[in-house]
Amino acid sequence: MNHILIVDDDPEIRNLLRRYLEGQGFRVSTAADRRECESRVADSSPDLIVLDVMLPDGSGLDICRSLHEHRPDLRVILLTALKEDVDRIIGLELGADDYLGKPFNPRELVARIKAVLRRRGHDDAPAPEHRIYAFAGFRVDPSQRNVLAADGTEIELTGAEFDLLRVFLDRPGRLLSRDQLLDLTQGRDRDPLDRSIDVLMSRLRRKLAEREPAAIFRTVRNGGYQLAAPVTHEVAP
């Protein structure tokens, strides 16, 4: 039974989500502010946090940054007001796995939670072989979720950035639309105003270009994105 922590200063939202998620088979804890959130994380080790951006004693974005630094295994879905596009983008940059605008349908939140946990389960599941990817001078180890440059320097990617890179590595040379990338990485259809894939692509390109200036990804107008570099793989001992 997955343990979900709901962090929101609105008691009605906390109670509503607790009842609904428990009815969907989750174990649920709640917190009203940053202090309670940090206490719950330390005491009960939740699998995923549904985190409101606006809290009375601090920003959910600051919590997200801290979690990414100290608990990178802990998944985060941010709750933001519908017009807080900047917060959504910053949240993805800080390591959030997904976001949902308020007001929202609890059924959609459950779908997002299941998609994020499913990706984590896929990453954690033992594979029949330990495959290492190599492309454009980089080596990617999915079991360790790390990316090494040619000189051995580790490229620090957020969870969402790594998931996006992995999609391309499994489909080298294939043109992938934004809809396909959203479905493969976040398990949901694209909203016409959703810029999350573009934001993640921009950050992924920048981080890789710092070590390899050659073009790794192609943008196809009205088509999507494509990994242009050849990909090879080997089975680690």
Residues 57 and 135 in one domain: no
Question: In total, how many domains does the chain have?
Answer: 2
pLDDT computed for residue 46 by the predictor = 92
User: Which structural domain, as residue segments, surrounds residue 231?
Assistant: 131-235
Boundary-marking domain end, from 80, 107, 124 = 124
Longest alpha-carbon distance in the chain: 53
Say yes or no: 120 and 135 in one domain: no
> Are 159 and 79 part of one and the same domain?
no
Domain co-membership, 58 together with 144: no
Task: Give the model's pLDDT for residue 92.
Answer: 75
Half-sphere exposure of 44 (CA within 13 A, CB side): 19
Same domain, 195 and 108: no
Instruction: Say what the pLDDT of residue 32 is.
Output: 94
Whether 120 and 223 share a structural domain:
no
- Asked if 187 and 112 touch (Cβ cutoff 8 Å), the reply is yes
pTM: 0.58
Give the domain-ending residue among 101, 124, 147.
124
CA angle 110-114-116, nearest 5°? Answer: 115
d(CA 35, CA 33): 6
Same domain for 67 and 142, yes or no, is no
| C-alpha span between 120 and 210 (Å, rounded) | 28
Which CATH number characterizes residue 28's domain?
3.40.50.2300
Instruction: For strands 48-52 and 3-7, give the pairing.
Output: parallel
* pLDDT confidence of residue 121: 61
> What CATH number is given to the structural domain containing 229?
1.10.10.10
Residue 110 sits in the same domain as residue 197: no
Q: Do residue 37 and residue 138 come from a single domain? A: no
| Same domain, residue pair 97 and 141 | no
Report the C-alpha dihedral over residues 60, 61, 64, 68, rounded to 10 degrees. -170
Torsion angle (degrees, nearest 10) of CA 163, 37, 90, 83: 110
Whether 112 and 138 share a structural domain: no
DSSP secondary-structure letter at 133? E
Rounded CA-CA distance 209/92 in Å is 19
Q: Crossing angle, helix 34-44 and helix 60-70, to 10 degrees?
A: 30
Tokens describing residue 199: 């934001």
Domain boundary among 80, 108, 124: 124
Residue 5 is predicted with a pLDDT of 95
Q: Are residues 98 and 154 in the same domain?
A: no
pLDDT tens, per residue, the chain with 237 residues? 799 999 999 999 999 999 999 999 999 999 999 999 999 998 888 999 999 988 998 888 888 888 888 887 889 998 887 555 656 677 777 778 888 888 888 998 999 899 888 876 645 544 445 678 999 899 999 888 889 998 889 999 888 888 899 989 988 888 888 888 887 776 655 555 567 788 889 989 999 886 666 678 988 888 889 998 889 987 665
